[in-house]
Every structure is written in structure tokens, then in C-alpha cells.
Structure 1
Amino acid sequence: MILVLLLVLLAAVPVVAQDVIIADFEGDSYSGWAIEGSAFGTRPARGESLGFLGYRGGGVANSFATSDEDVGSLTSAEFQIAQRYIVMLVGGGKQANGQRENQAAVELLVDGRAIRTATGDNSETLRWHSWDVAGLKGQSAQIRIFDNASGEWGHICVDHILQSESPRAGTGVWRIEEYRSSADYFQEPFRPGFHFTPELNWMNDPNGLTYFGGEYHLFYQHNPLGNVWGHMSWGHAVSKDMFHWEHLPIAMYEENGVMVYSGSCIIDHNNTSGFGTGDEPPMIAIYTGHSDERETQDIAYSNDRGRTWTKYGENPVIDLGKKDFRDPKVFWHPPSQKWCMVVSLAREKRLQFYASPDLKNWSLLSEFGPAGVRSKSNWECPDLFELPIENEPGHTRWVLEADMGNGAVAGGSGGEYFTGMFDGQTFRADSTDSKWVDYGRDFYAPVTYSNLPRDDGRRVWVGWMNNWSTALNPTYPWRSAMSVPRELSLRRIGDQLRLCQRPVASIESLRKEPMLISNMEIEDGDTTLSARGQQLDLMLVIDPGTARRFGVRVLKGDHEQTEIGYDMATESLSVDRTQSGNVKFHQDFSGKHAGPLGLDPNGQVRLRLLVDRCSVEVFGGEGETVLTDLIFPSASSDRIELFAEGGRATVVDGQVFQLDASMGPNANP
């Protein structure tokens, strides 16, 4: 009886057909697909090298072979429609229907005619699309993926095309709880070991750096919904030493169509704002509220050391009715006993200075600019701070830093600075000609810490380690890193006052036992060191001898290397990343970047290099010349090589430290 009943029940269960794969792009070629044009290359791309989210397996069909300008198509072999749905993952540009001449899409062809179409959504997150083809069962069809588009978002990415009896919905984005418990947590290719990165998704400018209650706070521009720019909110982390970071919940989200753009954070010790409710002073965030219509300056406050935030009910506190008015940096000015703000009119390339007694009511003081690089596209993310001049007791200067989205020294985005005086009302520059903050391509929007203890005496900043022109770098499931925190000083070099940057001393806690070098001669050629690794701190003093060029190559593999070189003829320090690994994900990525650096008083070159899997930060001399560059080498590229060209050089003194990780499950205590 039981057997009969079981057979009856089994007979009543509908048989659900298994999904049938049309294409998953996991092979080394587009076998079975007809290729036209150059957009899709000659074989599937690897999803991890593109920085896409939501793909399955490793391979994808991607029309960004070299740039958004490429056009072409892929057309499948004929197949018979056998199930109710055809489903697929699609990302890339969102194209309007009826604009085929400038469209990138995937379509279903029956008798050569397109009867279903899907496009991306201006996102590098692949989302499921489902076509109901129940009325077409039994007919022959083809899939065509094409890219006739050029310019921004002129590409498409497709993966996992299936026949199925069930439609699909949603995306393949990690949830934070799932990610933290996964074996992949902070173990992905290119994930830095001691630089701050978000756990998931997009990050850009550092925001609101402040020290309070024994914690260094790092807020940052963050998209909680994807691995591309958008939905700007403030991510949040805290640390005791600026290297071992604890990720906290998002501090402030985009709400009601208003994104939370960049800004600063202060500790209101005297409760001038009136927001404080307990024994400790409130933390106040001053940020730009961005909507489609305008940008305003808004404030929010916290009475629990930044764990929860309340946006001020009478925001905005400054509203000029302008679209490009952003990135306030606020600080207390003791001589005038008021809060001061520097903020940018980005498209006008002007900076404005405001003052307030209570952080709510602001008065315009003065303006600065246009100045510096005249060809820049915009001016944003300013900072203003006072520094002592080394070896000149009692003498100080103010430093005004601001960043441009394009036109910087190494191409793309970057920062410039001015020295001068600020009296609480007006900034008067020593010269309207600026100096470069960093000669590499990947240091942007640095901001200094506020509220460091008086007996600390340091001025420290952190920058976004990326470039707007090549920002979609090949990392997944996160994108972007922060620079190491850098201590700042001013030093007179020749007749110039130069900003010097040095890694903060707490990085030394990550060092392992060093390889020591003393008076090592480098003949014309190269010398491989016994030390190796992808997380390194190298300190070298090199006597040029008779060499024309000399330096060090790191992250070296059979066909990869990143070269840090010094050229005697031009007295310049350079980073060459043309052979550094994956340089083809963007046409502007590969290159060599250089900055001026003189010999020290002993006729030698002093170098400090920080290497962390996907980046090099190079500090020349006393830190007056800095180059920051991203790189994407293979995991096996870990050798170190010294080189000389045209003669013999000598490493007079050197230390090579491997560094422990400070982030993720492998972090040192």
C-alpha cells in the first residue's frame, strides 16, 4: 500500500526540465560564435580582470577589449528553442530602444530578425534578464551580442546564457554577512595586505578623518550597492594605529535622492553647535548634499563616537543654488575663535572660505583662484592646514591643496598645492604657480586628520589610491584602496618650499626581519636579491658611481616587473609600469611616470618603497618627490632586482623588509 501511494505521489510530481546552457564563456575561445569587428577580442575575457560583479565562473563576453570606442559583434550558432525562458546576465551601458546605430545589446534572432533585446543599466554589475519565449518553442534561433556604441558606457558584458523553465531576478552581489564567512574574504587577487580597502563595492575619496577617544576614524565615499561609482554614502572604519582597521556599519546613506558627498569631521569640544547631549563632545560631519539640481553644504552629528548619525533637520547650512559646489574642509581657527571652511566651486575653479561660530550659520570670507594649472577640468576636494618649516624654528606656512579631475602631471586626475599665509580671513599664496602633490597617477583627494593630540605634533593625511580616468580597475568584489597614512612637513630645498611626505612610523610594527645591504656594487646589468615578496618596505641609499640609470625592480616574474629608476641626466625618479602585469584593462593605464629629484648632499639617492600587491608608493629624498601607482601583477611575481645601466652603482646602505598584513583574516595582531 505504501509503495502504491509513493508511486502515485511521484507520478503527480511535475518533471522540471534542467537548464540548458547556450553559452557560459568558460573556454579559451568563442567556439561556435561568429566574430565581427574588434570589440569582443578573440576570446572571452576573465571577469576578475575587468572588475565586474555578478558574473558566474571565470569567463565573460565583454566588448571592452581595449576601449569603449571599439565596435563589433558575436553571433551564436543556431539552436532550437526548447524551454519557456531564455535567461542571461547582462551588464554595461544602458542603451535606448530604437537607437541601434549607437547601441550595445544582446538580442534574440529568429529568421534573422531581432525579436527580443536586453542591455545593461550603466553598471558593471551583471543582472539577470529573462525573455519569455514560450510562443517560440520549436523554432530555430540565434543569440547576437553586438556593440555599435562609442563613448561613455559604450560597452556590454554578457554571461551565462541559458534556456530555462524559470525566469531569473536580482543580481549576484555578495551580502556582507555571506562574504565575511566565505573562504574568499580578503583573499582575492590584488587585495592589498596593509592598505585600507572596503570589504565590498566601490570606494573613492577619504572623508571626515579625525581622532577621537583613542580611535582614528576613516570615513570614505562608498557605493553600498555596487562596484562602480554611484549612490554615494559614507563608509566608516576605525583603528588604533591607522593600519589595523575595524569595519563599521555605513555612517550615512543616500536619502531622498540626495547623496552624501565628500566632507570633513570635527570634534566640537565647546559644543558650539549645541548638538552635544552627554559628557563627551559631539562629532560633527560637514558634507556636501548632492542632488540632480544642486550641491549644498549639510551637517550631521553623533553623540556616540560616530557609531550613529543624525542629519541636521534644517539642512542645508550653505546653499548657493549651484550644481558644482562641494567638498567642505572645516577646522577650528584659534586666533579668530571661529570655525573656518574651505570649499570648492568646482567648475569655476575657485575656492571659497567661510566662517561660523556654531557650524550652522556661515559667512563668506574670501575666495582664491583660479590659480595653478590653468588647463585643469575642475577643482575639488580642498584642504588647508598650517605646517612648521623644518630646520627653521618658529617659522610656519599654510598649505592649500586641491585636486583636478583631469590634466594632472601623470595624466588624468591628481593634486596640486600652494604655500602661503592664512589669517582666518584670506589665503595669500607665496605664488600662484602650484607644485604637484604626487608625480604618479594614483593619489587623489588627500585629506588631513583633525583633532590629533596636541603632544602628537604630526600632520597626517590619506589619499584615494586611484585615478578617475582608469578607476574601473580589475578588482572584485571591491574597488579602490587608500594610500598609507603619510606624515607631512615643509622643507626648504634650494629656493623652494616643498611639501614632504613620509609613511607614518606605525607601519614599522608590520615589519619582519630585514635583509640588510651594505656597499653592494651593481655592475652594468642586474642583480637579483634573495629577499622576495609582494608586501615590502624597502629603504635604499644608492651612490650613482658611473651609472647613467639605476634602481630597483619589484614584483618581478618571468614576463612582469615594475621598475623604479633614477636617471642621472634628467635628475628624475620614475615608476615604469608598462610591464607590471595586467595593463590592458584600460588604454590609458600602461605608462612611465617621473618626478624631479636631486641628489642628497652626499651625492647619493635616497629611496623608500612600499609595495603591496597592487600598488607601489615611492618616496624620494626626504619625501619631497613621491610617486604612487597601482599595478596588477600575477600572484607568482615576487622577485626583487637591483639594476644599473651604463656603469656601476653602489647600494651604500639598504634594508628590505617583508610586511605582515594588517587587514583580513591573515592580519598580524
Structure 2
Amino acid sequence: MNCVTPHAMTRKIPFRTLLKSLAIGTLLIAIPSWAEERVLLDFNMKTPPPADWAIEGYAFGTHKPTPAERQKQALGTRNQRYVQKGSMTSPAFTIESDYLKIECAGTYHPTKIAVVLMVDGKELRTCSPEPGYGFLGAKLPSPRMFIAPDPAKYFFDVRTLRGKQAVLEIRDQHYDGLFFDVKITATDQGPAKGQAIITKAVNWVEAHFETKIKGDYLLVPVGPLDGTPLQMVTVEIEGEQKLSVNLPLAFGDIDTAGYQAVYDLANYQGRPLKVTYHRFGESGPAKLLTQRHIPGRDVSDKKPAFHVYNRIGMLNDPNGLVYYKDEWHLFHQFNYNVSHLDWKHYVSKDLMHWQERPIALFHDAQGSMHSGSATVDVFNSSGWGSEKRPPLVLAYTASSGNGGWKENDQIQTQCLAYSTDGGRNFIKYEGSPVLGHEQHIIKKRPKDQDARDPKIFWFSPTKGRDANAKDGHWVMVLFEQTGHNIYTSSDIKTWEKTGAINGFHECPELFPLAVDGDSEKVKWVMYGAKGRYHIGSFDGKMFKPETKNQTPMFYGDKCYASQTFNNTEKGADGQPRRIQVTWQGGRFGQISLPLELTLKTTPLGERVCMLPVAEISKLQSKSVELDGLRLDSSSANPLSEHKSGLYDIEIEADMTKAKQVELNIRGNKLVITSQGNGLKLGKMTIPGSKKLFLRIVVDNTSQDIFFGEHGAFYSPRTLPPRANKSLSLSVKGGSVTFSKLRVHQLKPIW
């Protein structure tokens, strides 16, 4: 049962007492008073609210939910309750015990996610799920990250309140939190050693940080994920609210795990800034900063030297890739909140050196900021800017219900944001969502019904992806259920479905490439997150594949959700340069080097090929050329002098007279084998030729390998950092003459 009536109790006899009474032939039935217990509440996500408790809101479910408003039903799943607020309040009862034992699991917040004891309307005792559990209610890091933990145990000391009338409130007033379960027991047995004794209620008071703006960035200290209450931080400039978002703010004696840049202040110098937050009654303030740089990046051999990576928190899918006013903008999925995803922002002038910017899109009432894209509204079709100052537009998925996590209760809608200050700060379009309104009223959706990751671009029937062609319209490719759907629009706000193709999974891409550089022979490429692609045609409304099966773009591990830049300048083939990055290396990994894509005719047919962009030369500090070198099995290592650890290696060689070429790069072997009429590297093969073309870019944490004449195969390999930074090259089973053998040492960007 959920609630046990006052006369119900559990009686326990100490085992030693029972043994003693049996030994003298008498069964003792008198019970010590401290052993009497009465369960007042036993609630978890799988049970409905107690019938005699008063329910407000939807956080704990309802007795009679409205079917048409499925997100308000708060079914027994974490996702729906996670985004709901509400409370359960007990009937009045008389305190007749020394203690109330509280066992609870869920999100930690001392006043918004709390068990509250009230007497005469006053809050006298409070507790929240134990600090040490993250915002999803689970220890971090942990393989049980999304599993409810064992409950925390507290004791309300109520000895001074005996005989008084009281009520208990189970309070969830946090959009970013929930209770997994709560059990409350009245008992006279005191707590065991080390268990928390509660004698008062937490006092949560408003605090302010005010200053005149002198730096470019507002920096907020964030605490450890396993014990920092998630709270609302509001930013005002000259009295105008610019941002209001839940953050794990470090204040008082909460350790600072790092600083998050949350707002770009560059255009507001000298103006008054006010930041509002809360703290515990006697705790000290948060140490907010306004500075001209973002501190805290760990520059060491254990971190990437020239890949984008996070200072703190989790990194995944690249988003919003766009070239705008001589700057390359790169966004990626970012998580330090644990409960929601945001968009982290970097900017570069040369595709190599990246500057971190404040978080561009924070989660909001519509949900997490899931993946999407960016474009320049050149002709100001949206009306948000002007043709002289066109707005930079972000298209993203707002996902409520924490993205689903295989539940059937997520809501995923497509939204827009825009910038009129060069991409420094973004304003969310008040008319969002532009797609997906109906998801809020569907009673229940099948588990495989998803809608996310909008890729938007300008299409011209005469000039393809040329963003400056006036005869065009907007296109959105959206992953839904079993494949990619295509929508079109004239104003980027109102969309109509025009086509669909099955067989793809999330993070859609669609772009033209000229075959072998022939501007008169252009084909379109469509792929999903796993990088498997079709080659075909696109008329602005429908994509028609010409290839029977999807072709893998990548071989190797940890390569996912690749995206390409919009609004790039034209390349030599007359098409906009097609530059791609991908997510490498898991939750705390990195964003790949920018790669230039081409469409080439190879021994395997038409293939998307890739090599590092030419801009990588900007990282070269020293180059050694050994063109024409001949090696056999007895030759000394010609690369022994290289010790920097950061390399761009170029190799061309004829392997008709040798069985193997072996590279040892920082202790990791790479073996190319001559077999049959071709060459083999791992699972990759090049048939019909013994000519070796190899390009390898080496960072502290990765080796990016390009195999084949046109970089037809690419294998990103994420590796643990090693102290060994050496290089070696050897040949087995014959001799090899290297027509090209060049090693460029690279400089770090951080």
C-alpha cells in the first residue's frame, strides 16, 4: 500500500532477547517502545499517489489524468515526471514518535525537491535526496547513470514536537528534477551512527551580483555534479532580462569545478549588470566574474592539442556549422547540467585556431537543446535582420522528456533562434516551434516515433546550394521515425513536407558535390549519423537515390553525427566547399579536424572522399621531406629524430616489391599489407593497385587516418594519451621506395 493507517505498525523483537526467552521456556511478547514504527508514506514512480493525500500539479501523477494532455499525465516514468512540477500533502496527523525516518531518492535541491514537515503552517524540517547524487538522481560518473539509486536516509528529530498536529509535503517545484521514491516512517528508534539528523528547515535566500561591465564574458562558477543544487540564474543588463537558466551554481563552501561562460558582454561595455540567484541562509556568495578571456582549459599532453574539446562537462554532436562574415562558427551538444543539453559555441578565422564563446542556446521550458544546424538568411526572408545585415539563424530540436531514453513520452519539436550581432548572442524565435505543435496533444506515441536534428539550407533550382541565388527557397531535412523527411519554406518559419526517404537514422545531411571536379556533373549526397550515404539527385523537394545500398563513409571507432558547414565560399569545382566535422571519442571526446569532401571515381565506384582541409598547414612548425627514400627489412628507422608527438604525415609508395609497411606512432602500430592485387589496412582495402597513399594526423588523443589516393577511406581512432611520442617506419618482406615521405610537426592551438 502507499499509505498505512495510524493503527498499523511493525513490531520487532531483538534476536538476542528472543533467544534468551526461548532458553528459559518463556516467549517474551512485550515490545520496547523504541521498536514501534508506523509507515506514513511509501511512494515510488510505479505507484499512483496515495488516495488520501492532496495532489497539486502533475509531478506525482494524478488520480484522473487528462488523456489529451499526455505530458501532464505524469505516468510512471522518469521522463514525464522530470519536467512536471507539483506536490503531495498528507492529511493532518499527530506527532507521536521521536523521529520521522525519511528515505528518498531523486534530484538534490534543498528547497524545491524536498520532504517538508509543517506545523501550524510553518516549515520546521526539510530534506532533499542526498548530495552526492546527480541531477538525474544517480551517482556520477557511473554505469548506472540513468538508474534510480538507493535512497538517502535522514531522520527528522521531532521529540520537541510530540503531541502537535502536523502535515507532510512532498514537494517537486523544479523543472529539472523529480523524486524517484519516498518512504516516511514514524519511529522512536534513533539514527545509526553517521546518518543525518535534521532539526531545522533550510532557508533559501535571494542573492545578487552587480557590477559595471568591463569584460567580454560573464563567467559563472559551477560546482561538482554530485552535490550542487541546480538553481535559476537570471542575467539583466540595464534592467533588461537577457537570460534565465538553471545552473549548478557554486556558492558558499561548494567547491568550484570550473567556470562556464554564459553570456557575451562585448557589446555592453560600461553598462550595469545584475545577476540574481539564491543561496543558503548563512552561506557565502558565488564568485561571478566578468573577464576578457575564458579560464580553466587544461593544456597538457593528456588533452587534445588541436581538436576542439570541453574544459568541463560532456561533448557530443557537432551542430550549427556555418561560415558567416569571415568567421567559422562551430556549435556542439554540451552537457554539464546532466538533466539537459545546451549548445556550446566556438569561432575560428582559419578552421584551425578556435576561440571558445559563451553557451549559445540554453535549455528552456520547451526542453533540451538537441541537434540542429545553422544558416545565413541572406535575403532576410525571416524579417529578423536586413539584407545589409542578414541574421544568423539556428535551427534546433527542443526535446522535452530528456530525449526519451527509449521511453514513449518525449516531445520533440523544431525551433529557431537568430542573431543580429554577428553570432555573439542568440534570440529564440517566439513563434517556435515551427514544426511539431501536434506532439503536445497526442495521447501516446509509438516508441520509434522521433522528430529531431533539422538540417536547413537555401536551395536554388539553377545554382544548387548557392546561398546567394535569388530564385531559391529553404529546405529542411528532418529525421522522423524511420528515415529523413524533406520540408520546404519561403520564409524559414512556415514549412511544408515535400518528400521522404527511409533507411536513415538521425543527424541528416544533404549536399551537392561535383564528380571528379566536373562542374557540369553534380550529384547529391544524403547520409545520417552513422555516415552511411546514398548518392543521387535532388530537385529541391525530393531526393532520389541512384545507389542501391548505402555506402559507409567511415571505418573505425567513435565517429558519429558528422555535419558540414553551410554558406561556405565556392571551391574549384564551382560548388560551395563541403567541409565536415564529426564527433570523436565518446561523451568526453573531441570534435574532429575539419575535412574537405569530394566525390571521386575510384576502383570501387563513385565514393565520397575526404582529406584534411588545406588550412592545416597553418599548424605546421617544422617539416622534414624524405622523398625518394628506399627502405628494406634491414634499414634503420628514418623517423627516429621526431619526438614532438604532434604530426601530419604524408606517404606515397609503390608496394609491389614488399609485403608490409609498418608505422609505429606513439606506441601504436599501423600495418599496411600487400595482398592479391591490392592493399589492406585493418578492415579497409584498396583493390587494383599496389600504390600506397597514406595521410595520418596525430594528436595527443587521436590518429586520423586517410587511406587511398583520394582519401577514399577515413578511420578516426581515439587513443589514450601516452608519454611515448616517437615515430618509426619499417618495411617487411622486400623493399619500398617512397616517392613521398614527409613529416610535418604541428603546433598546439590551446
TM interval, short-chain normalised: 0.5 to 0.7
1:531 aligns with one of 618, 634, 642: 642
- Is 1:387–2:513 an aligned residue pair? yes
Further displaced range: 422-431 or 446-455:
446-455
Cα deviation, residue 554, structure 1? 0.4
SS of residue matched to 1:513: strand
> Could you say which residue in structure 2 is the equivalent of 1:281?
390
> Could you say which residue in structure 1 is the equivalent of 2:310?
198
SS of residue matched to 2:547: coil
Decide whether the 8 Å contact of 1:299 with 1:315 is kept in 2.
Answer: yes
> Could you say which residue in structure 1 is the equivalent of 2:670?
563
> Could you say which residue in structure 1 is the equivalent of 2:231?
none
Map 1:448-597 → 2, pairs under 5 A: 448-454=564-570, 458-466=576-584, 471-472=586-587, 479-494=588-603, 496-524=605-633, 527-528=636-637, 529=639, 530-556=641-667, 561-569=668-676, 571-574=678-681, 593-597=682-686
Decide whether the 8 Å contact of 2:345 with 2:360 is kept in 1.
Answer: yes
Decide whether the 8 Å contact of 2:564 with 2:581 is kept in 1.
Answer: no
- Is 1:214–2:354 an aligned residue pair? no
The amino acid across from 2:489 in the alignment is S
Decide whether the 8 Å contact of 1:460 with 1:485 is kept in 2.
Answer: no
Residues 182 and 402 of structure 1: CA distance in aligned 2, closer, same or farther (over 3 Å): closer
2:497 aligns with one of 348, 355, 364: 364
Q: How far apart, CA to CA, are the structure 2 residues paired with 1:554 and 1:187? A: 21
Q: How far apart, CA to CA, are the structure 2 residues paired with 1:548 and 1:92? A: 55
- Is 1:656–2:740 an aligned residue pair? no
> Could you say which residue in structure 1 is the equivalent of 2:724?
637
SS of residue matched to 1:313: coil
Decide whether the 8 Å contact of 1:234 with 1:250 is kept in 2.
Answer: yes
Using structure 1 for the length normalisation, give the TM-score.
0.64
Residues 190 and 569 of structure 1: CA distance in aligned 2, closer, same or farther (over 3 Å): farther
- Is 1:445–2:561 an aligned residue pair? yes
Decide whether the 8 Å contact of 1:186 with 1:199 is kept in 2.
Answer: yes
Cα deviation, residue 176, structure 1? 4.1
- Is 1:313–2:430 an aligned residue pair? yes
Percent identity at matched positions?
27
Cα deviation, residue 173, structure 1? 2.2
2:420 aligns with one of 295, 303, 308: 303
Tell me the alpha carbon deviations over residues 332-381 of structure 1, each in whole angstroms, 9 at most, x when there is no partner: 11116210111111xx321100000101110000110126xxxxxxx010
The amino acid across from 2:476 in the alignment is M
Q: How far apart, CA to CA, are the structure 2 residues paired with 1:364 and 1:628? A: 36
Using structure 2 for the length normalisation, give the TM-score.
0.57
Residues 422 and 458 of structure 1: CA distance in aligned 2, closer, same or farther (over 3 Å): closer
Decide whether the 8 Å contact of 1:354 with 1:363 is kept in 2.
Answer: yes
Tell me the alpha carbon deviations over residues 35-77 of structure 1, each in whole angstroms, 9 at most, x when there is no partner: xxxxxxxxxxxxxxxxxxxxxxxxxxxxxxxxxxxxxxxxxxx
The amino acid across from 2:538 in the alignment is F
> Could you say which residue in structure 2 is the equivalent of 1:337?
472
Cα deviation, residue 542, structure 1? 2.0
> Could you say which residue in structure 2 is the equivalent of 1:353?
486
Q: Runs of 5+ in structure 2 lacking a partner?
A: 1-129, 154-175, 178-188, 196-224, 228-251, 262-286, 402-409, 440-444, 462-470
SS of residue matched to 1:463: strand
> Could you say which residue in structure 2 is the equivalent of 1:39?
none
Greater relative contact order (Cα 8 A, min sep 6): structure 1 or 2? 1
Q: How far apart, CA to CA, are the structure 2 residues paired with 1:549 and 1:649? A: 9
> Could you say which residue in structure 2 is the equivalent of 1:260?
369
Tell me the alpha carbon deviations over residues 260-290 of structure 1, each in whole angstroms, 9 at most, x when there is no partner: 1111111111111111168401111111111
Map 1:137-286 → 2, pairs under 5 A: 170=254, 173-176=257-260, 185-225=297-337, 230-256=339-365, 258-276=367-385, 279-286=388-395
Decide whether the 8 Å contact of 1:443 with 1:463 is kept in 2.
Answer: no
SS of residue matched to 1:236: strand
Q: How far apart, CA to CA, are the structure 2 residues paired with 1:488 and 1:213? A: 22
SS of residue matched to 1:366: strand
Tell me the alpha carbon deviations over residues 205-228 of structure 1, each in whole angstroms, 9 at most, x when there is no partner: 1111111111111111111436xx
Residues 628 and 315 of structure 1: CA distance in aligned 2, closer, same or farther (over 3 Å): same
Residues 285 and 90 of structure 1: CA distance in aligned 2, closer, same or farther (over 3 Å): closer
Q: Runs of 5+ in structure 1 lacking a partner?
A: 1-86, 109-121, 124-132, 140-156, 160-167, 372-378, 404-413, 473-478, 575-592, 665-669
Q: How far apart, CA to CA, are the structure 2 residues paired with 1:270 and 1:523? A: 62
Cα deviation, residue 134, structure 1? 10
Q: How far apart, CA to CA, are the structure 2 residues paired with 1:249 and 1:613? A: 26
> Could you say which residue in structure 2 is the equivalent of 1:612?
699
Decide whether the 8 Å contact of 2:628 with 2:740 is kept in 1.
Answer: yes
Give the number of aligned pairs. 471
Map 1:36-75 → 2, pairs under 5 A: none
The amino acid across from 1:651 in the alignment is F
Cα deviation, residue 90, structure 1? 6.7
SS of residue matched to 2:309: coil
2:716 aligns with one of 610, 619, 628: 628
Q: How far apart, CA to CA, are the structure 2 residues paired with 1:644 and 1:221? A: 43
Decide whether the 8 Å contact of 1:300 with 1:310 is kept in 2.
Answer: yes
